[in-house]
Amino acid sequence: MADPKKLFIKTYGCQMNVYDSERMAEAMGAEGYVLTEAAEEADMVLLNTCHIREKASEKLFSDLGRLKPLKQAKPELKIGVAGCVAQAEGDEILRRMPLVDIVVGPQAYHRLPEMARANGQAVDTDFPEEMKFDRLPERKAPRGPTAFLTVQEGCDKFCAFCVVPYTRGAEVSRPVDRILTEARGLVERGVRELTLLGQNVNAYHGAGASGDYTLGRLLREMARIDGLERLRYTTSHPNDMDDDLIAAHGDLPQLMPYLHLPVQSGADRILKAMNRKHTAEQYLRLVERIRAARPDILLSSDFIVGFPGETDADHQATLDLVRAVGFGAAFTFKYSARPGTPAAEKPPVPTEVADARLYELQALITEQQRAAQDAMVGREVGVLYEKPGRLAGQMVGKSDHLHAVHVTDPEGRVGELVRVRISASATNSLAAVRVG
């Protein structure tokens, strides 16, 4: 039998790209490709790209430059660009980088096998009628105890800084039965924890057997799947946190006490200019309601500093909001002007000012993150083992609150969900001993 062809995939950006890469690997698997970790031995290299900030986009072109010698040494090597840069800059990529054979957008990648079979350059950045998920091969390979599952894609919110509504397109929700089938299949293959993904996951509105399902209703349905012990979802918009979804955090033991709820800024002026359609006060009240439903929930968020027009007072308002909430984690970004978005037309905040604000916000968040982690010491929590630790007799996994935990447990097995007592807090992880 001939050696199988080898596929190398590099994934940039968000968790949805991680999920998409996995599905593309499976689609190419049906064509006889196996994954390789080494680009040098690949017959096909696929770069699954991110367009969210300027730096993320630029990486693509430097990586493509580095592939030139490989392509020269092996002209039959196929080079594909997928993801959001492919969607936004497909023609530009082909013009600047003739070594690229395939450009495929995030909604068209079910057509990748066909494109790979063809000769010459091929571009597909359509938003096709048919849903890619209906055309992709069934997921079969055994896998680890955690997995992502895309339930919703695209965004209709049009925040003034964001390219997602243009690269991923309008909001689309997958039907409930497809999601449940995929979830059950993953559980049969060893998955214990699912993270439901969507650019705006809590705007989920999927068709189900008995009408329209919201995310809260979908989660309640998923919590009934035998063997599925943990559920998470990301990323959410504050305005889509409805009562039922908030209540689900109190009602469903499977729904883990960690929620990523981006707020972006704590200044009403800036929130308005960002087209976020809520105030800082409304966000704080929402946090109160969520904590009333699930008091031990850890919140994380995204922040942008240096949005056009942001003053020192606005920045202080962001710091005030962070102090008022107390986050368990957060991602901070310096505003990056994205072509085609409304905010890109406005005069930027000077780089030094934005850098200083980023530094200050980051320091406050690091402090809060540390405090939240330290506060776990002495507590009993669940940990799902993902792999053996570096030390003998040690297992590593995530806590209910998404902290990395090293557990002393010589009997531990990957995929086991255990109770542990947290014994110490280190820089980026917790130590624990198994109980019970």
401 contributes a contact to ligand 5AD by CB under 6 A: no
Paired tokens of 309: 């027009």
Paired tokens of 167: 């690269």
162 contributes a contact to ligand SF4 by CB under 6 A: yes
199 contributes a contact to ligand SF4 by CB under 6 A: yes
166 vs 333, beta carbon nearer ligand 5AD: 333
For the range 291-296, what are the long-range contacts, defined as Cβ-Cβ under 8 Å and sequence gap of 24 or more?
293/246, 293/247, 293/249, 293/250, 294/249, 294/250, 294/257, 296/257, 296/401
* Binding partner of residue 157 among ligand 5AD, ligand SF4, none, CB cut-off 5 to 8 Å per kind: ligand SF4
* Binding partner of residue 155 among ligand SF4, ligand 5AD, none, CB cut-off 5 to 8 Å per kind: ligand SF4
262 vs 266, beta carbon nearer ligand 5AD: 262
155 contributes a contact to ligand SF4 by CB under 6 A: yes
Contact of 94 with 103, CB cutoff 8 Å: yes
161 contributes a contact to ligand 5AD by CB under 6 A: yes
Q: At what angle do helices 280-293 and 312-325 cross, to 10 degrees?
A: 10
302 contributes a contact to ligand 5AD by CB under 6 A: yes
CA distance 321 to 314: 11
359 contributes a contact to ligand SF4 by CB under 6 A: no
Contact of 82 with 55, CB cutoff 8 Å: no
CB atoms within 10 A of CB 370: 13
Name residues contacting ligand 5AD, limited to 305-344 (CB under 6 A): 333, 335-336, 338
In the complex, minimum distance from the CB of residue 200 to ligand SF4, in angstroms, rounded to a whole number:
5
Contact of 305 with 333, CB cutoff 8 Å: yes
Contact of 419 with 382, CB cutoff 8 Å: yes
DSSP for 89-123 reads: HHHHHHHH-TT--EEE-TTSGGGHHHHHHSSS-EE
With CB under 6 A as the rule, give the number of residues binding ligand SF4: 10
* Binding partner of residue 53 among ligand 5AD, ligand SF4, none, CB cut-off 5 to 8 Å per kind: ligand 5AD
155 is in an annotated binding site: yes
265 contributes a contact to ligand SF4 by CB under 6 A: no
Phi, psi of 40 (to 5 degrees): -60, -30
* Binding partner of residue 199 among ligand 5AD, ligand SF4, none, CB cut-off 5 to 8 Å per kind: ligand SF4
218 vs 274, beta carbon nearer ligand SF4: 274
49 contributes a contact to ligand SF4 by CB under 6 A: no
What are the distances in angstroms from CA 95 to CA 64, 120, 357?
Answer: 13, 14, 38
In one-letter notation, the amino acid at residue 391 is L
Binding mask 202-241 for ligand SF4 (x = CB under 6 A): -----------------------------------x----
Paired tokens of 78: 């196929």
Paired tokens of 37: 């970790």
* Binding partner of residue 237 among ligand 5AD, ligand SF4, none, CB cut-off 5 to 8 Å per kind: ligand SF4
264 contributes a contact to ligand 5AD by CB under 6 A: yes
What are the distances in angstroms from CA 307 to CA 38, 54, 58, 198?
Answer: 39, 14, 21, 24
12 contributes a contact to ligand 5AD by CB under 6 A: no
* Binding partner of residue 158 among ligand SF4, ligand 5AD, none, CB cut-off 5 to 8 Å per kind: ligand SF4
160 contributes a contact to ligand SF4 by CB under 6 A: no
162 contributes a contact to ligand 5AD by CB under 6 A: yes
CA distance 343 to 231: 35
412 contributes a contact to ligand SF4 by CB under 6 A: no
Q: How many CA atoms lie within 13 A of 250 on its CB side?
A: 11
Name residues contacting ligand 5AD, limited to 177-236 (CB under 6 A): none
17 contributes a contact to ligand 5AD by CB under 6 A: no
Phi, psi of 237 (to 5 degrees): -105, 135
Binding site for ligand SF4 (CB under 6 A): 155, 157-159, 162, 164-165, 199-200, 237
Binding-site residues sit at 14, 50, 84, 155, 159, 162
Binding site for ligand 5AD (CB under 6 A): 52-53, 161-162, 262, 264, 302, 304, 333, 335-336, 338
